[in-house]
Structure 1
Amino acid sequence: MSRRLGQILIDAKVMQPEQLAQTLTLQGPIPQPLGQLLVSQGLAMEEQIATFLECGKAQ
């Protein structure tokens, strides 16, 4: 079963649920990819996002 990127990062202890919720509020009317927002906010590194996406674990 495929899981969403935010939940994968929470499960991996890369971020807290509150951090995900706050980041999602920043998406606004024109959503940006979550990984891009997390990197720009300093909540995750590009390498972490790429690893999860490359493994096909996130939808």
Structure 2
Amino acid sequence: MQEDKLNNPETKTNNSADDEKSHIEAASKFIQETSIEKMHEIAEAARLKKLMEPPKWVYPIDD
């Protein structure tokens, strides 16, 4: 049932503005409440995690 909602173009257009607004509000709240040092720690942890991942190979699909 939830998947039908996500794949329905009418539902997407009606809720996309609300979804975008909620994301903007969440981002603004995060920026206001989080110190720059904490943001740096989060970014560094994400960078190190990315470096530790094995390479991802994408193979073309032969038609």
Fold-level match, TM-score > 0.5? no
- More relative contact order, 1 or 2 (CA 8 Å, 6+ apart): 1
Larger radius of gyration: 2
* TM-score normalized with structure 2 length: 0.28
* TM-score normalized with structure 1 length: 0.29
Which structure shows the higher helix fraction? 2
